[in-house]
Amino acid sequence: MTHLSDADLLTSMTSPASSLAGLVARRREKVPLVPASLHCAATAGLLRDLAPAAFEPILAAGRAVADGTFDLLGSGPVNLGPNPDWHCDFKSGKRWDRGAYSLEMFHTPDRGHDDKVPWEISRLQHLPTLGMASTLTGDPVFRERAVSHIASFVADNPVYRGINWNCTMDVAIRASQILASEGFLRGAGDERFWGELLKSLLLHARFILDNLESGPVRGNHYVANLAGLFLCGLGLPEFREAPKWREFARVKLFSEMQRQVTEDGLDYEASLSYHAFVTEMFLFPALMESENGGSFCRPYLERLEKMIEAVAILLRPDGTLPQIGDNDDGRFLIFSQYHRPRRDWRPLLALGAYLFRRPQWLRLAGDAWVEGAWVLGEPFLRWRDSLRDLDDCPGFPCHAFPEGGIYQLGAGSIQMVVDAGSVGQRNNGSHAHNDTLAFDLYAFGREVLPDRGTGVYTPDLSLRNRFRSSRAHNVVQVDGEEINPFPEEPFRLIPADSPRVLRWRSSQRYAYLRAEHVGYRRLRAGVLHRRSILMDHLKGTFQIEDRLEGKGRHRFLASFHLAPCWSVTLLEQGWTARSQEAGPTLNFLWRRRPEASRTQVEDDLHSPSYGLTQKARTVRIEWEGDVPCRLRYELTLLR
């Protein structure tokens, strides 16, 4: 059924109401999905004393959205008017047919437009910010704008019609975000608005169940479907179908947790950004179930705790994670932190800290701790107050995720993260990059030798492949070939690398990793690459050796990708790079240099977030020679 009359809605209830007015009145008396949202005025009153600086970013974001201004997926601020055109990629101007049958709308890659843009704005993740802005100012205009956006979307996007019913993941996120926003919007909208919204939410949930993205290769899309369906079941208890949605999703979420999350707590899609994204998807059902008096099973919660712990271990002071694998700026639910960069995962730690009572995670959340107050209310604030003084963060630890293939060599303010894992997703590689044995170096609050990021997905396939190529990572490339070949599909790698960790040791002073891959064994004269990294915690140095074994003569390229705003000076025995923003200095010193090698500095591109690129510099070291051969060098970081 793609359309519901008032009578259809009323007969779908567990306890049928006699009229739409009666149903809406009953709904207004119920506790919403996020119970604390009913008391947001009281929460705001408490936060005026505890975190007064947290209000202005919320208000600034609320004013911008109420004015029609959005900044999504690298667009920069763009005014879209009172109600956005929900079917338009406002970055390229492409508009999809609102009447087209959604499941027969096929993607048209490499034409400059991005279906992610209408999907992103139609997730409606700005709704809580508008509700909070009304609470903080007493001005109803913000809630009225939220109601206008919801009503406009529902009227302009009938189920199974148009681009916004093409991807079940986005349907699930949208339904969850609307339900999570309900308490913040109470008092706005008339009886007809709420009646039409309930019809839409019922159709959302039915659509999710009927169109699960549950093929043989499953990933974050399917988890989002299940998380959204569970929250629909929890947040729409009036409907007879709700218990079925909830219990089906609960069972499948646990099954996917076992399938998609390694025992050491990493998502299996070979991307740290997607790891955090999926962690949110698994977290919110458990958190909302807890807030509504229930609980998920212990094995589910134990694995979820490991997932959040992985974020805490790898998190940088600015809330970002290394961009290993894809990053599309995706978030599952957003409350008070709509203004915050999408790569900032500290709100996740604030919520996880409360669910698992982990004070150190709350410390890592920094000023994003207020997300916990808005979502969880006074109980969260009482718990936070009971902690008194929290210990300072100890800095980056050394830590191995052997099943996930991620290794962190850390000491104080220095972090090197190495990808020694497979292409992920059971060798599908949908969100993996050709970064086997690549390292991402961060120090003293700045990126130094980062992963280059993602760029975009389907609008420009050459840019897509550029950012996921071997050449875009801090690796050694052989004969201009990819570590894992690219197929025609933009969301797949053909696995050839078969990485293997040979040794991992960590002590009070040193950390040591030795790993290898055979991605170049497929060449006519095959080559194995083995990389060893020794970190001296006290000196802040990395001794790195690359061994290339096999036979024949080959061309080699070693790349070192500097963060934007770094300059390079080439020297006789290496090179020096400095941040132009008064940051650290990186010294590269040869210990064993390949014969006849040439070093040059190239202009390059860096993608700090989806849809955005910046100019940067890359050091390239090229040589040609016989194998076996090896090179050794030392990286030293100075403040």
pLDDT in tens, 180-228: 999 999 989 999 999 999 999 999 999 999 999 998 999 999 999 999 9
d(CA 225, CA 554): 47
- Residue 6, in any domain of the structure: no
- pLDDT score for 458: 96
- pLDDT score for 362: 97
Q: Spell out the SS3 assignment of 134-203.
A: HHHHCCCHHHHHHHHHHHHHHHHCCCCECHHHCCHHHHHHHHHHHHHHHHHHCCCCCHHHHHHHHHHHHH
Q: How far is CA 345 from CA 53, 350, 563, in A?
A: 19, 9, 21
| Phi then psi dihedrals of residue 198, to 5 deg | -65, -40
Position 9 pLDDT exceeds 80: yes
As a residue count, the chain comes to 639
Same structural domain, 333 and 418: no
Same structural domain, 506 and 633: yes
CA pseudo-torsion sign 432, 436, 442, 447: negative
Q: What is the pTM of this model?
A: 0.97
- Residue 391, in any domain of the structure: no
Same structural domain, 186 and 127: yes
Same structural domain, 185 and 75: yes
Residue 502 corresponds to which tokens in the numbers above?
């040979």
Position 102 pLDDT exceeds 90: yes
Same structural domain, 340 and 488: no
Residue 294: Cβ within 10 Å count = 12
Domain-ending residue, one of 386, 411, 446 = 386
pLDDT tens digit string along 574-607?
999 999 888 899 999 999 999 999 999 999 999 9
- Residue 3, in any domain of the structure: no
- pLDDT score for 18: 87
Mean pLDDT for the chain?
Answer: 96
Which amino acid is located at 199 in the chain? Answer: K
| Cis status of the peptide bond prior to 628, with omega within 30 of 0 | yes
- pLDDT score for 264: 96
User: The domain that contains 178 carries what CATH number?
Assistant: 1.50.10.100
User: The domain that contains 458 carries what CATH number?
Assistant: 2.70.98.70
Domain-ending residue, one of 341, 365, 386 = 386
- pLDDT score for 6: 94
- Residue 299, in any domain of the structure: yes
d(CA 202, CA 164): 16
Residue 232: Cβ within 10 Å count = 28
Domain-ending residue, one of 363, 386, 409 = 386
- Residue 175, in any domain of the structure: yes
Same structural domain, 545 and 593: yes
Residue 618 corresponds to which tokens in the numbers above?
């890359």
**How many helices (H) and strands (E) are present in the chain, helices listed first?**
18, 19
- pLDDT score for 581: 84
Strand, helix or coil at 590?
A: strand
The angle, 0 to 180 degrees and rounded to 10, between the axes of the packed helices 272-291 and 220-235 is: 20
Same structural domain, 444 and 496: yes
Same structural domain, 82 and 39: yes
Strand, helix or coil at 617?
A: strand
Same structural domain, 372 and 405: no
From edge to edge, which strands make up the β-sheet containing 541-550? Answer: 500-506, 510-520, 527-536, 541-550, 629-638, 585-592, 574-579, 566-571
Helix (H), strand (E) at residue 121: helix 116-121
- Residue 539, in any domain of the structure: yes
Residue 627 corresponds to which tokens in the numbers above?
């194998």
**DSSP characters over 377-409:** -HHHHHHHHHT-SPPPP--PPPEEETTTTEEEE
Same structural domain, 343 and 465: no
- Residue 252, in any domain of the structure: yes
- pLDDT score for 31: 94
Domain span at residue 255 reads: 27-386
Residue 385: Cβ within 10 Å count = 9
**How many folded domains does the chain comprise?**
2
d(CA 575, CA 563): 15
- Residue 373, in any domain of the structure: yes
Residue 270 corresponds to which tokens in the numbers above?
């070979």
Residue 474 corresponds to which tokens in the numbers above?
């801090």
Q: Is 46 exposed, middle or buried (0-12, 13-18, 19+ CB in 10 A)?
A: middle
Residue 504 corresponds to which tokens in the numbers above?
């991992």
3-state helix, strand, coil split of the chain in percent (to 5) is 40, 20, 40
- pLDDT score for 2: 80
Position 37 pLDDT exceeds 90: yes
Residue with tokens 């690459």: 529
Question: What DSSP designation does 417 have?
Answer: E
- Residue 311 and residue 361 in contact, taking contact as beta carbons nearer than 8 Å: no
pLDDT tens digit string along 358-408?
999 999 999 999 999 999 999 999 999 999 777 777 899 999 999 999 999
Same structural domain, 289 and 357: yes
d(CA 259, CA 218): 9
Same structural domain, 356 and 407: no
- pLDDT score for 323: 98
